[in-house]
C-alpha cells in the first residue's frame, strides 16, 4: 500500500498500519509447516517443570524454584505482572537451554532504528547474543495478552533494528553485510508465547530507513502453539500441565531456528 503514510517513530509505537506501509504480511502456519514436523521434541527440562503445578517441591534458591516464583507474578493481573514478563522470559529460556558457551542473554537492550531518515529506537525485552557470530540471534518481546496482534509490529521493528545492528557489526569487522537473514522472534503474552520467523532483507531495511514502499512483499511465518483449550490460551498460559508440555515442546523445536 504505497499510498499509506510513513513517519519516524520508535519500534514500540509501530502498528499494523506500519506493516502495511512497508509491505509486510504475517501468515499463521500450522505445526508441520512452521517446524517442519508434527512430531515435536520433548522439552529438555527437569521433569519437575512438567509434572508439578507450583514447584514447591524444588529447593529454595534453585533456578527452577525462581522460575515458578516469576511464573506466579507474570500470571497475575497487576501492572507489576506485566512488567515481569522479561524476567520470566530470561528464566524460561535459561532453563530450556537456549544459552550455551558462546551465547549470552541480553535483556532490555536499545538499538538504533533508522526510519524515514530519522534515528529512533527499538527496545526488545530480551535478545540472545552469539559471540562467535558477533550478532544477536533471537528476539523476545512482551505482548499484550488481551490483544496479542497489537504487539506484533513492535517485534518486527525490533527484528529490522537487530538486522541492521548485526550488519554494522559485520562491516566493522571487515565482513560483507548480509543481504537477508531470518530473525527468530518470540512474543510473550503473559506466559503464552507466539513464535515468529521474520525474514529481513537489506532492501526492507533500506525502505524503512528512507520511508519508502518496498516493491517486494515480506512474508513472516507465525505459529501459535496448539493447546487443549485455545480460547483460554492467554489466561491459562503455562499454568495447566497439558498446556505446559505443549508450549515447552514448541520452545524446544524453535531452537532449530537459531
pLDDT at 222 over 90: yes
Q: What is the pLDDT of residue 61?
A: 58
Question: If pLDDT is split at 50, 70 and 90, which confidence band does 79 have?
Answer: low
Nearest-angstrom CA–CA distance, 152 and 14: 9
Which has the minimum average pLDDT: 54-58, 116-120, 166-170? 54-58
Is the pLDDT higher at 73 or at 92?
Answer: 92
Question: Distance (Å, rounded) from C-alpha 166 to C-alpha 147?
Answer: 30
DSSP string of 64-100, one letter each residue:
HHHHHHHHHHHHSSSHHHHHTHHHHHHHHHHHTT---
User: Is the pLDDT assigned to residue 85 strictly greater than 90?
Assistant: no
Average pLDDT, the chain: 91
Mean pLDDT of 168-183: 97
For residue 72, what pLDDT is reported?
Answer: 77
Average pLDDT over residues 151-158: 96
* The model's pTM: 0.94
Task: Give the whole-angstrom CA distance, residue 141 versus residue 161.
Answer: 13
76 pLDDT tier (thresholds 50, 70, 90): low
Rounded distance between C-alpha atoms, residue 73 and residue 67, angstroms: 10
Q: Are strands 180-189 and 135-142 parallel, antiparallel or unpaired?
A: parallel
Rounded CA gap, 164 and 111, in Å? 9
Q: Where are the domains of the chain?
A: 11-257
What is the C-alpha to C-alpha distance for residues 137 and 122, in angstroms, rounded to an integer?
Answer: 16
pLDDT tens digit string along 11-21?
999 999 999 99
The tens digit of pLDDT for each residue in 44-68 reads 998 889 998 877 767 665 788 888 8
**pLDDT of the residue at 1:** 63
Residue pair 102/258 in contact (Cβ under 8 Å)? The answer is no
**Strand pairing of 192-201 and 180-189?**
antiparallel
Q: Is 65 exposed, middle or buried (0-12, 13-18, 19+ CB in 10 A)?
A: middle
Q: Could you give the count of Cα atoms lying within 13 Å of 256 in the half-sphere of its Cβ? A: 10
Distance of CA 213 to the CA centre of its chain: 25
If you average pLDDT over residues 93-101, what whole number do you get? 91
The pLDDT value recorded for residue 199 is: 98
* Nearest-5° Cα angle at 11, 152 to 84: 70
Whether 197 and 34 have beta carbons less than 8 Å apart is answered as yes
Q: Cell triple for residue 9?
A: 517513530
Instruction: Report pLDDT for 38.
Output: 96
Arithmetic mean of pLDDT, 180-196: 96
pLDDT at 69: 81
pLDDT category at 181 given cuts 50, 70, 90 is very high
160-173 mean pLDDT: 97
Amino acid at each position: 500500500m504505497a499510498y499509506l503514510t510513513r513517519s519516524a517513530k520508535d519500534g514500540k509505537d509501530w502498528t499494523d498500519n506500519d506493516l502495511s506501509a512497508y509491505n509486510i504480511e504475517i501468515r499463521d502456519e500450522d505445526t508441520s509447516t512452521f517446524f517442519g514436523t508434527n512430531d515435536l521434541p520433548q522439552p529438555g527440562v527437569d521433569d519437575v517443570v512438567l509434572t508439578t503445578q507450583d514447584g514447591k517441591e524444588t529447593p529454595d534458591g534453585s533456578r527452577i524454584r525462581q522460575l515458578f516464583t516469576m511464573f506466579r507474578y507474570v500470571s497475575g493481573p497487576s501492572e507489576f505482572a506485566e512488567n515481569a514478563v522479561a524476567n520470566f522470559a530470561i528464566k524460561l529460556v535459561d532453563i530450556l537451554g537456549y544459552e550455551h558457551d558462546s551465547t549470552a542473554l541480553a535483556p532490555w537492550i536499545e538499538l538504533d532504528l533508522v526510519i524515514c531518515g530519522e534515528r529512533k529506537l527499538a527496545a526488545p525485552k530480551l535478545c540472545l547474543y552469539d559471540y562467535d557470530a558477533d550478532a544477536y540471534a533471537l528476539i523476545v518481546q512482551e505482548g499484550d495478552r488481551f490483544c496479542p496482534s497489537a504487539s506484533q509490529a513492535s517485534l518486527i521493528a525490533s527484528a529490522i533494528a537487530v538486522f541492521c545492528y548485526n550488519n554494522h557489526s559485520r562491516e566493522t569487522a571487515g565482513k560483507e553485510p548480509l543481504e537477508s537473514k531470518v530473525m527468530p522472534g518470540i512474543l510473550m503474552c503473559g506466559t503464552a508465547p507466539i513464535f515468529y520467523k521474520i525474514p529481513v532483507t537489506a532492501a526492507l531495511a533500506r525502505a524503512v530507513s528512507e520511508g519508502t514502499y518496498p516493491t517486494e512483499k515480506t512474508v513472516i511465518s507465525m505459529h501459535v502453539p496448539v493447546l487443549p483449550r485455545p480460547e483460554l490460551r492467554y489466561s491459562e498460559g503455562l499454568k495447566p500441565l497439558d498446556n505446559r508440555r505443549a508450549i515447552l515442546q514448541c520452545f524446544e523445536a524453535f531452537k532449530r531456528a537459531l
